[in-house]
Amino acid sequence: MAQRTFSIIANTLLLFVVFGPLVVLLFYADQNLTFTTADWAALKFTLKQAALSSLLSVLLAWPLAVALSRRHFIGRRLLILTLSVPFILPVIVAVLGLLSIFGNSGLLNSLLSFFGFPVFSIYGLTGVLLAHIFFNIPLATRAFLLAIERRPAELERVADGLNLNFLMRFWILDWPILRLVAPQIFSLIFALCLTSFAVVLTLGGGPKATTLELAIYQAFRFELDFGRAAFLALIQLSVATLACCLSILVFGLPTNFNKGLDRPVYQRYLSIRSSVWDFSVIILLGLFLILPVISVISEGVQHFYLLENTIWTPILNSINLALCSAVISTILALGFMSKWGEVVGTLSVAVSPLIIGAGLFLMVRNYTNPFEITFWVTLTVNSIMGLPFSIRIMRPASDEIVSNFKNLANALSMGPFAWFYWVYIPRLKEALTYSMGLVAALSMGDLGVIVLFGGADFETLPLVIYQLMGAYRTEQAMASAVILVSISIGIFLIFDKIGKMRNARA
Amino acid sequence: MLELNFSLVKNYLRLSADISLESERIYAVVGPSGAGKSTFLNILSGFTEISNGSIVWNKREISGLPPSKRNISILFQDNNLFPHLTVWRNLALAVTQRPKISNDDRSQLRSAMSEVGILGLENRKPSQLSGGQQSRAALARVLLQKNTILLLDEPFAALGPSLKDQMLELIKKIAKNRKLLVLMVTHDPADAKKIASHTIVVKENTVHVPIDTKEALEPTKGPLADYLGNN
Amino acid sequence: MALAQIPTLTVYAPDYFTSEWGPGPSIESKFEETCNCDLVFSAGELLPRLVLEGQNTRADIVIGLNTDITKKARELGIFSPHKQDNNRLKLPIDWDDEIFLPFDWSYASFVFDTTKTKPPSSFEELLNLPKNIKIVIQDPRSSISGLALILWVKKIYGDNAGEYWQKLAPKILTVTKGWSEAYGLFTDGEAAGVLSFTTSPAYHIAVEEDITKKAAIFKEGHYPFFELAAKVRSSKNEELASMFMDFILSDGFQNLIPMTNWSYPSAQTKDEWPSVFSNLPRPKSAVYFSENEASEITKQAIEEWRNALSQ
């Protein structure tokens, strides 16, 4: 009951903070509801790249997750951790890293031309998709991996014992997980790619690759037509909502696993063919994800000497912001622990941050000077952006706790507070800390709405990186990016450790 | 006296009953798998709502009440204890939800632990207990709730034969001391014969009137002849 | 430091300006030497902020505006006259705007890596560069430098602009959101040339001692690029704001510009520039659309560009 109340509060808060600005902006100026042919073309392209990116991410992440779950090798944990890095990087840094491998003068093309093969150009839809899957495969892989690890061991044993062929195995073992996880992941990635801006523009190759976000940016910044910007943002959001609903319709209701008896995972007999497949997948996708990161890191580390002491304040600011948004996002996520809760939480990512920033600005300006509260606004937006990830991480754990222990709690007539205190939160600890770690890492690399509200009073690390790039100092920017990544990973690891501490349960 | 007169029709669950149960008695609940034994217990304890009818305990209608208000305790097949809490805390939760445990509570807890024979195991976590000890702890927890009706849903299924016998003896003793009405779902006719004076057969979506255990479990003639195996 | 109540001058500026690598910090110290005030920068998107803040804006001065929004800003009546003598400006064109005061300027131009190719000396020569030499440009819809290029080509080619874009399209590696991304691609070696400014090489020469990056000077003339400052009409610090506007054209301010903002100071002749700037190759002439001409032609020019590159 109490959780339901909290749910309502959390949902209302979210709607207010995310959709409120949209509405405010829409009614602020004259309604300009024009939708030109150029906008239409932009919408079509936006949909196309977002849909393809999501589909590819999910399709590629699945074999990787399966391979990782089946193979245990030295460095596996490290690999899984490193796979998350692309996600944490500021966009511009990640793009440069990608280009250093896949660009015209990148590693791949150098190798190709060395061996006499024709050079391949990443610019165009290919580049956009490549970058998007670079960012999002780790996310999808993690989600699948978590779900696979929750699958009762008995199921696999039954399947092995029955000597099922590939299709039947898939139907019994894999499809339930896909149904469980894929719709939400697909929707999340779709929403993320929908508002993707710098990536599409830089790697798209030209105006054929124009998204709605550009039109919003233009309307906002150049034409000062806020009504039109909000209108386009509304369309963007509607599209995301439709995609969400569609994917749930296609995949249907998520199934719930009965709790296995927690017998330990046994060493399964796996054929040589599957070994080859698994390791190929891991190596290929692993290289794809890691090489650009290594490139960025190696370049950055070379220029460490360029870093100045003044970087400390932005570092501390960023850490501060990251930790706060991690906590808020995780706590807020407790109000979205249901199927539809996850959908709503995901949609918050589909609203252009420009709009949220401007709208919040308007909502707040009669009460206080928005620039005094840059930190709070950025915190709000970062927490909202982290929400879908928190939900995705915590929901499976939450569902499991409820299905396993709610009856017992009811039999003991445990009230809501007792339930939270004795059972729910203690058992959710690992998921909670994992969520905090992830959101903190994400928040470190996120520009948020600082771009609108300005950073003179509150500089974060990503902002510093952009400032450096704007001042010809690319190398220093790369060095700062390495600091950013290190700190993000550090925070993530610390939270991970905390989650595993004092874990003496059965 | 527990008077049951209800029916349940929901999705694939179907069950109907029209029986009376005496207090201070132990009933075995038997029947083929899928007939509805667990559903029956769920209905009694309040985890499943009936479609229509009534459940009356000592002249009081309880069918609309939540589980906590029904004076019924239930022991599940598993998940009777919170794995991450100590035995002490698990038991304490039956008595108070607050972190602080009063002296009165303390003595209650100790006496329950003594009654089932697990004194000294307070600070262990369930995974550090043997199967038998876990069952006893769960039983202690249930006793602390001080309800007069006890439902058992095959809680000793995973124990070896001698442990199971010990637990059954314990149940019999406690039921007599505390004057409980006990319903025990079991698949083993020997269990039923051991402690239950009467047996409720659940078959073909119906909860039949309780009959004498010996008769019910007659392998060749009783209502469960098929279930028990014809000779 | 006296604890007396000193007035605050609030200056809105873009992020690159206020960052420690931009001109902001030096300008702030220099101004505070004589103004007996506290200069406070506030960074962020300039015009949207001002519009959203409306009458309640804290800004006294806005610095870092570009010519693409002057018309709109003028219509909104946000700014008041700068009251400076436009004759003090040393720009390649005549400046008669009473409201917007240029504080620095440069020319749009392509910058090339001379280790890969010799910079072309005209638009036509640009077309004839070897096939493997590519350039990166910015999107005119999201970048002012990108917009400057569109207008430049339009000015030179007029009705044939579309045709030129079609011919140039194969040489364009990609179109980025802003200058930072494009220049990042250039310095990383992804492209041999990038749309930037004639003054960009000064940074590489002065700071990195790298002389391989050179601007391509086109004989047709270049499109100048001005950065502007203006006084906010609703400012409560009239006196201080005026003082700042005076300060902008003074040597104190102007001397700081080249080595912090990598552009030509607006009120100094080339003899007064640092040598690294005066030694840079410069266009012979400027080609320019006036504010009204630009606003009329922009939509069409962008459309032609978009069409040509979308083939």
- Kindly report the nearest CA distance between residue A410 and chain B, in angstroms: 6
Tell me which chain B residues have a C-beta less than 8 angstroms from the C-beta of A417: 97
Rg over alpha carbons for chain C, rounded to the nearest Å, is: 20
Q: What is the 3-state secondary structure (H, E, C) of A88-137?
A: HCCHHHHHHHHHHHHCCCCHHHHHHHHCCCCCCCCCCHHHHHHHHHHHHH
In the predicted model, is pLDDT for residue A265 greater than 60? no
Q: Name the A residues in 262-321 with CB < 8 Å from any C CB.
A: 308, 310
Would you call C185 and A96 a contact, using CB atoms and an 8 Å cutoff?
yes
pLDDT of A30 reads 67
Q: Name the A residues in 372-431 with CB < 8 Å from any C CB.
A: none
DSSP sequence for chain B: -EEEEEEEEETTEEEEEEEEE-SS-EEEEE-STTSSHHHHHHHHHTSS--SEEEEEETTEE-TTS-GGGSSEEEE-SS--S-TTS-HHHHHHTTT-SSS---HHHHHHHHHHHHHHT-TT-TT--GGGS-HHHHHHHHHHHHHHTT-SEEEEESTTTTS-HHHHHHHHHHHHHHHHHHT-EEEEE-S-HHHHHHH-SEEEEEETTEEPPPEEHHHHT-TTTSTTHHHH---
Task: Determine the residue among A258, A400, A410, A412 to mutate to test chain B binding: the one whose Cβ has the most chain B Cβ atoms within 10 Å.
Answer: A412
Q: Which whole number is the average pLDDT over A380-397?
A: 86
Reported as a pLDDT band with limits 50, 70 and 90, residue C245 is very high
Side chain identity, residue A102: F
Would you call C177 and A197 a contact, using CB atoms and an 8 Å cutoff?
yes
Decide if A180 is inside a domain: yes
B138-197, pLDDT tens digit by residue? Answer: 999 988 988 899 999 888 887 888 888 888 999 999 999 899 999 999 888 888 888 999
In angstroms, rounded to a whole number, what is the distance separating the alpha carbons of residues A292 and C130? 29
- Lookup result for tokens 């709610």: A406
Domain shared by A78 and A11, yes or no? no
Q: Which whole number is the average pLDDT over A406-425?
A: 88
C53 touches chain A (CB under 8 A): yes
| Higher-confidence position of A261 and B133 | B133
C225: helix, strand or coil: strand
- Kindly report the nearest CA distance between residue A418 and chain B, in angstroms: 6
Lowest-confidence range among A162-166, A177-181, B87-91, B141-145?
A: A162-166
Contact C8, C58 (CB under 8 A): no
Size of interface A-C (CB pairs under 8 A): 164
Q: Which whole number is the average pLDDT over A319-335?
A: 93
pLDDT of B152 reads 92
C2-37, pLDDT tens digit by residue? Answer: 556 788 999 999 888 988 889 999 999 999 999 889
Would you call C191 and A104 a contact, using CB atoms and an 8 Å cutoff?
yes
Q: Which whole number is the average pLDDT over A444-457?
A: 64
Decide if A506 is inside a domain: yes
Domain shared by A420 and A357, yes or no? yes
Domain shared by A157 and A303, yes or no? no
In angstroms, rounded to a whole number, what is the distance separating the alpha carbons of residues C194 and C11? 31
Reported as a pLDDT band with limits 50, 70 and 90, residue A37 is confident
Reported as a pLDDT band with limits 50, 70 and 90, residue A264 is very low
Reported as a pLDDT band with limits 50, 70 and 90, residue A262 is very low
Tell me which chain B residues have a C-beta less than 8 angstroms from the C-beta of A426: 84-85
Contact C274, C136 (CB under 8 A): no
Mean pLDDT estimate for chain A: 83
Would you call A405 and B84 a contact, using CB atoms and an 8 Å cutoff?
no
pLDDT of A498 reads 86
Q: Name the C residues in 233-272 with CB < 8 Å from any A CB.
A: 262
Please name the residues in contact with A382: beta carbons below 8 A apart, sequence gap of 6 or more: A321, A322, A325, A329, A442, A443, A446, A448
Q: Are strands B198-203 and B211-212 parallel, antiparallel or unpaired?
A: antiparallel
In angstroms, rounded to a whole number, what is the distance separating the alpha carbons of residues B57 and B71? 9
Q: Are strands C101-113 and C135-138 parallel, antiparallel or unpaired?
A: unpaired
In angstroms, rounded to a whole number, what is the distance separating the alpha carbons of residues C57 and C230? 14
Contact C91, C105 (CB under 8 A): yes
Decide if A272 is inside a domain: no
Q: Name the residue of chain B whose CA is nearest to A419's CA.
A: B97
User: Exposure of B203 by Cβ count < 10 A (0-12 exposed, 13-18 middle, 19+ buried)?
Assistant: middle
- Kindly report the nearest CA distance between residue C90 and chain A, in angstroms: 25
User: Exposure of B107 by Cβ count < 10 A (0-12 exposed, 13-18 middle, 19+ buried)?
Assistant: exposed
In angstroms, rounded to a whole number, what is the distance separating the alpha carbons of residues C100 and C72? 12
Mean pLDDT estimate for chain C: 91
Residue B148: closest CA among B168, B177, B122: B177
Q: Measured between CB atoms, which of C43, C68, C173 is closest to A456? A: C43
Side chain identity, residue A159: A
Lowest-confidence range among A311-325, A458-472, C266-280?
A: A458-472
In the predicted model, is pLDDT for residue C214 greater than 90? yes
Chains C and A touch (3+ CB pairs under 8 A): yes
Residue A314: closest CA among A455, A468, A472: A455
Domain shared by A335 and A223, yes or no? no
Please name the residues in contact with B170: beta carbons below 8 A apart, sequence gap of 6 or more: B116, B117, B136, B139
Please name the residues in contact with B144: beta carbons below 8 A apart, sequence gap of 6 or more: B91, B94, B95, B108, B109, B112
Beta bridge partners of C65: C228
Decide if A83 is inside a domain: yes
Q: What is the 3-state secondary structure (H, E, C) of A328-386?
A: HHHHHHHHHCCHHHHHHHHHHHHCCHHHHHHHHHHHHCCCCCHHHHHHHHHHHHHHHHH
Lowest-confidence range among A187-191, A274-278, B114-118, C128-132?
A: A274-278
pLDDT of A269 reads 61
Q: Which whole number is the average pLDDT over C65-90?
A: 89
Tell me which chain A residues have a C-beta less than 8 angstroms from the C-beta of B66: 410
In angstroms, rounded to a whole number, what is the distance separating the alpha carbons of residues C246 and A236? 46
Number of separate domains in chain A: 2
Decide if A502 is inside a domain: yes
Would you call B93 and A418 a contact, using CB atoms and an 8 Å cutoff?
yes
Reported as a pLDDT band with limits 50, 70 and 90, residue A268 is low
- Kindly report the nearest CA distance between residue C183 and chain A, in angstroms: 8
C109: helix, strand or coil: strand
- Kindly report the nearest CA distance between residue B225 and chain A, in angstroms: 33
Decide if A171 is inside a domain: yes
In angstroms, rounded to a whole number, what is the distance separating the alpha carbons of residues B227 and B229? 6
Structure tokens at B76: 């599940």
A1 touches chain B (CB under 8 A): no
C262-303, pLDDT tens digit by residue? Answer: 999 999 999 999 999 999 999 999 999 988 899 889 999 999
Q: Measured between CB atoms, which of A405, A408, A418 is closest to B97? A: A418
Residue A262: closest CA among A345, A358, A150, A340: A150
Domain shared by A21 and A91, yes or no? no
Measured at the CA of A311, the angle between CA A309 and CA A315, to 5 degrees, comes to: 135
Side-chain-side CA neighbours of residue A314 (13 Å): 28
In the predicted model, is pLDDT for residue A252 greater than 50? yes
In angstroms, rounded to a whole number, what is the distance separating the alpha carbons of residues A261 and A155? 11
Helices (H), A254-311: 272-302
Report the length, in residues, of chain C.
311
C286: helix, strand or coil: strand
B72-115, pLDDT tens digit by residue? Answer: 888 888 888 998 899 999 999 988 888 888 999 999 999 999 98
pLDDT of A263 reads 45
Q: Measured between CB atoms, which of B47, B69, B145 is closest to A407? A: B47
Cα–chain center distance at A189? 7
Contact B175, B190 (CB under 8 A): no
Chain A touching partners, 3 or more CB pairs below 8 A: B, C
Domain shared by A220 and A329, yes or no? no
Would you call A412 and B74 a contact, using CB atoms and an 8 Å cutoff?
no
Structure tokens at A36: 């030109």
- Which of A206, A238, A258 is the last residue before a domain boundary? A258
In angstroms, rounded to a whole number, what is the distance separating the alpha carbons of residues A139 and C280? 49
Residue A97: closest CA among A131, A126, A142, A52: A131
Structure tokens at C190: 């992804």
pLDDT of A261 reads 42
- Which of A258, A283, A316 is the last residue before a domain boundary? A258
A222 touches chain C (CB under 8 A): yes
Would you call A451 and C15 a contact, using CB atoms and an 8 Å cutoff?
yes
A198-231, pLDDT tens digit by residue? Answer: 888 889 888 888 888 888 888 888 888 888 888 8
Would you call C183 and A472 a contact, using CB atoms and an 8 Å cutoff?
yes
pLDDT of A453 reads 62
Decide if A284 is inside a domain: no
Structure tokens at A318: 């960023």
Beta bridge partners of B61: B56
| Maximum C-alpha span of chain C | 66
Mean pLDDT estimate for chain B: 87
Q: Which whole number is the average pLDDT over A407-422?
A: 87
Beta bridge partners of B16: B7, B206
- Kindly report the nearest CA distance between residue A405 and chain B, in angstroms: 7
| Higher-confidence position of A46 and A353 | A46
Chain B touching partners, 3 or more CB pairs below 8 A: A
Domain shared by A240 and A310, yes or no? no
Q: What are phi and psi of C235, to 5 degrees?
A: -65, 140
Domain shared by A246 and A393, yes or no? no
A203 touches chain C (CB under 8 A): yes
Contact B186, B31 (CB under 8 A): no
Beta bridge partners of B52: B7
Q: Which whole number is the average pLDDT over B208-231?
A: 75
Reported as a pLDDT band with limits 50, 70 and 90, residue A504 is very low
* pTM listed for this prediction: 0.83
Q: Which whole number is the average pLDDT over A123-135?
A: 92
Lowest-confidence range among A79-93, A138-152, B205-219, C137-151?
A: A79-93
C292 touches chain A (CB under 8 A): no
In angstroms, rounded to a whole number, what is the distance separating the alpha carbons of residues B116 and A335? 41
- Which of A235, A258, A281 is the last residue before a domain boundary? A258
Domain shared by A17 and A77, yes or no? no
B10-58, pLDDT tens digit by residue? Answer: 877 888 899 999 888 999 998 887 778 888 988 998 888 888 898 998 8
pLDDT of B222 reads 67
In angstroms, rounded to a whole number, what is the distance separating the alpha carbons of residues A290 and A85? 8
In the predicted model, is pLDDT for residue A364 greater than 80? no
Task: Determine the residue among A214, A221, A312 to mutate to test chain C binding: the one whose Cβ has the most chain C Cβ atoms within 10 Å.
Answer: A221
Domain shared by A462 and A487, yes or no? yes
Task: Determine the residue among C68, C75, C181 to mutate to test chain A binding: the one whose Cβ has the most chain A Cβ atoms within 10 Å.
Answer: C181
Domain shared by A194 and A324, yes or no? no
Reported as a pLDDT band with limits 50, 70 and 90, residue A506 is very low
Q: Sketch out chain B's domains with CATH numbers.
A: 2-71+147-228 (3.40.50.300), 82-146 (no CATH)
Decide if A286 is inside a domain: no
User: Residue A180 belongs to what domain range?
Assistant: 45-106+120-258
Reported as a pLDDT band with limits 50, 70 and 90, residue B231 is very low
Domain shared by A248 and A337, yes or no? no
Q: Name the A residues in 34-93 with CB < 8 Å from any C CB.
A: 38, 92
pLDDT of A256 reads 46
| ipTM confidence score | 0.86
Q: Name the A residues in 365-424 with CB < 8 Å from any B CB.
A: 404-405, 407-408, 410-415, 417-418, 421-423
CATH of the domain at A322: 1.10.3720.10
Tell me which chain A residues have a C-beta less than 8 angstroms from the C-beta of B126: 506
In angstroms, rounded to a whole number, what is the distance separating the alpha carbons of residues A423 and A256? 20
Contact A482, A301 (CB under 8 A): yes
Reported as a pLDDT band with limits 50, 70 and 90, residue C250 is very high
